Every structure is written in structure tokens, then in C-alpha cells.
């Protein structure tokens, strides 16, 4: 059960396998796997590896894909609490 901490994402690092390492301000690192969603709705645009990597960013204070060139209301984003609830992982080697 979480305390008063609101997850603050400080860095996201996309990987070629359609996963993203997410770094939180408290030191926690999680890995978000997009593979299960690549055939669903808006996530289909992320099938292209270049799009997945190049558009991965922090928008709306969370992991997002800026597929509409800076329009934060039209990005694909994931709830930061959902991400924080993932199991912690070790830093992924490059």
C-alpha cells in the first residue's frame, strides 16, 4: 500500500524490444512492456520501432508517446500510478 508519495517520473528510456525503463524521483525503476498492447487502438502506431523510440518522452507528468508533435492532449500516455505499481527492476543494460 502506497503512502503519500505521488509518483514523479524523472526519466524514460525506450528500448528496441518495445519496453521502456521508467525512473522515479524516489529511485525506483520499473519496466513497462508495450508489446501486449501493440495490436490495440492507438498503440498500433507504436509498432514501428523508430516511432516507438523517437516519440517516447515525459508529457503530462508521465510516460508518453508524442505522436502528434507536441499536442499533449493527443499523446498516448500511461497513468503514473499504474507505472509506479509495477515491480521494481534493476537498471537495464544498454
User: 1-5, 58-62, 72-76, 86-90 — which is least confidently predicted?
Assistant: 1-5
DSSP-derived letter for residue 7 is P
Residue 2 pLDDT > 60: no
- Give the cell for residue 13: 528510456
Helix and strand totals (H; E) in the chain = 2, 6
For the stretch 6-64, pLDDT in tens is: 889 999 999 999 999 999 999 999 999 999 999 999 899 999 999 999 999 999 899 99
Give the Å distances, CA to CA, from 64 to 1, 4, 85: 25, 24, 17
**pTM above threshold 0.75:** yes
Q: Which of 54, 56, 20 is nearest to 35 (CA)?
A: 20
13 pairs with which residues across the strands?
21
For residues 22 and 12, what is the distance between their CA atoms, to the nearest angstrom?
A: 5
pLDDT at 3: 62
Domains and CATH numbers, the chain: 9-84 (3.30.2020)
Amino acid at each position: 500500500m502506497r503512502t503519500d508519495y505521488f509518483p514523479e517520473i524523472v526519466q524514460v528510456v525506450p528500448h528496441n524490444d518495445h519496453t521502456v525503463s521508467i525512473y522515479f524521483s524516489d529511485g525506483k525503476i520499473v519496466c513497462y512492456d508495450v508489446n501486449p498492447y501493440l495490436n490495440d487502438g492507438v498503440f498500433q502506431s507504436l509498432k514501428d520501432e523508430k516511432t516507438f523510440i523517437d516519440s517516447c518522452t515525459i508529457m503530462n507528468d508521465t510516460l508518453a508517446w508524442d505522436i502528434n508533435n507536441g499536442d499533449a492532449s493527443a499523446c498516448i500516455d500511461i497513468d503514473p500510478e499504474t507505472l509506479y505499481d509495477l515491480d521494481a527492476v534493476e537498471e537495464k543494460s544498454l
